[in-house]
A = this chain, B = another copy of it.
Amino acid sequence: MSASTIPYKIYLEESEMPKYWYNVRADMKTKPAPLLNPGTHRPMTAAELDCVFCEELVKQELDNDTREYPIPEEILSFYRMYRPSPLVRAYCLEEKLKTPAKIYYKFEGNNTSGSHKLNSAVAQAYYAKRQGLKGVTTETGAGQWGTALSMACSYFGLDCKVYMVKVSYEQKPFRREVMKVYGASVTPSPSDTTAVGRKILAEHPGTTGSLGCAISEAVETAVSNPGYRYVLGSVLNQVLLHQSVIGVETKIAMDKYGIQPDIIIGCAGGGSNLGGLIAPFMGEKLRGEKDYRFIAVEPASCPSLTRGVYAYDFADTGMVCPLAKMYTLGSDFIPAPNHAGGLRYHGMSPVLSELYHQGMLEAISVPQTAVFEAAEAFARVEGILPAPESSHAIKAAMDEAIRCRETGEAKTILFGLTGTGYFDLVAYEKFHNGQMDDYVPTDEELAKYAAKLPKV
């Protein structure tokens, strides 16, 4: 198809939408390291994981071999409510930057959860329902994942118990109300509904909570209530599998119009969006069929890939979850205040960590103020108000496009625009008022946390 017939926004026909998730682990010669039991340091078995997660999800978590997973029809139906997501040519941004580069972005924010999180939430809710469970539990910080899961549970008629970090519960009442619209119960954490919550409240009266504490409460609630399981919105192999729908859809659209990206960029917190976007392209690179540059963009305040160590660590601050081998800053590392809640995770998906370790993936970190400058510049020409998380990818894509202006190269840049910033306006306000913090941890600080990593 000629370039002139490429639309401004590419929406696949429903008949062209992906019918399968792509499991990049199948094409990795060296597989990501297995999860370890935190007590025995031996690989977690399916039976051990079944107490916490749904059976089908445990299977997906442990399966390093199946290349394609057919997406169940019920999930396809749900996807059709908000997918395909558009692949947009950023003509206005190109013009503003006066770059010869061609910039495309895959926009995942056009659904009420406001981000790509819904892609995995619906899968996890579906398998819980199919297993005959009553409900699921989870934690949420900023609220995107909790919102996505509430929507999915509402659709399948599943109970949804969300532990929301107390400070967010109080400061983000709107996120809380959205979850209630979808019928979720939202409990500020720490709470007196769990033993771990009561213990923390007794030891730290007046605490405003943490993600680690909320995870611990959600896990305890899942394992102590018959018919409940715990679900998680990032980091896990299964989540990257579900999120591959982003990349597969992007690749079908690009192939349809003969577009070949040179550079693929995504923001990276736990890795769910980046892992999903790059998956099928990475598969081609792993199989030696094509080459691409992949760039993970993380906040300078929480630089797990660029400044962390590749080691086994706890997936949660509460140290109740299995050990995962990943680039990590240490499970009790608390990043300086920043407004990209989705990128404040201390570690990185084991799949992406292993790919980075193999040199298949680059990583950079960017300071917060520069990210918001890029976000505002993008919004003014492309219309969409981006989430702070997504704006990390915008910043990196703009820098690459400016480099093209300098070298005269007409590279094709693809980035993931994971979500919208409608619930992040406190952050934009701070940016407008010049109150943004660009703190970057010192080497000494990072070394202190790294020294506390579990000995495996």
Contacts and interface: CB of A to CB of B under 8 A. Distances in A.
B9 A182 contact: no
Most chain B beta carbons < 10 A, residue from A7, A112, A379: A112
Interface SS of chain A: helix, strand, loop or mixed?
Answer: helix
A177 B429 contact: yes
Interface stretch (A191-199, A271-279, A398-406, A418-426): A418-426
Given A111-B383, A384-B112, A376 B181 contact: yes
A385 B178 contact: yes
Nearest to A88: B81
Contacts of A8: 14, 80-81
Interface in A287-319: none
Contacts of A173: 425, 429
A230 interface: no
Interface residues of A, number: 41
A72 B155 CA distance: 42
Contacts of A429: 173, 177
Contacts of A42: none
A380 B112 contact: no
A428 B14 CA distance: 33
A11 interface: yes
A246 B432 CA distance: 35
A178 B7 contact: no
Nearest to A384: B112
A432 B154 CA distance: 16
A110 B13 CA distance: 18
A103 to B, nearest CB: 14
Contacts of A383: 81-82, 111-112, 151, 155
A362 interface: no
Interface in A396-449: 420, 422-423, 425-426, 428-429, 432
A180 interface: yes
Contacts of A181: 376, 379-380, 385, 428
A2 B426 CA distance: 49
A73 to B, nearest CB: 13
A97 interface: no
A367 interface: no
A432 B13 contact: no
A27 interface: no
A178 B422 CA distance: 8
Contacts of A332: none
Contact of A178 (B9, B81, B180, B425): B425
A174 B425 contact: yes
Contacts of A14: 7-9
A155 B377 CA distance: 11
A180 B419 CA distance: 20
Contacts of A81: 8-9, 92, 382-383
A183 interface: yes
A336 interface: no
A381 interface: yes
B112 A420 contact: yes
B155 A380 contact: yes
Contacts of A151: 383
A9 B12 CA distance: 11
A385 B183 CA distance: 13
A420 B180 CA distance: 16
Given A7-B14, A173-B429, A178-B385, 10 more contacts: A7-B80, A8-B14, A9-B81, A112-B384, A112-B422, A154-B379, A174-B425, A177-B425, A177-B429, A180-B428
Interface of A: 7-9, 11, 13-14, 80-82, 92, 110-112, 114, 151, 154-155, 173-174, 177-178, 180-183, 376, 379-385, 420, 422-423, 425-426, 428-429, 432
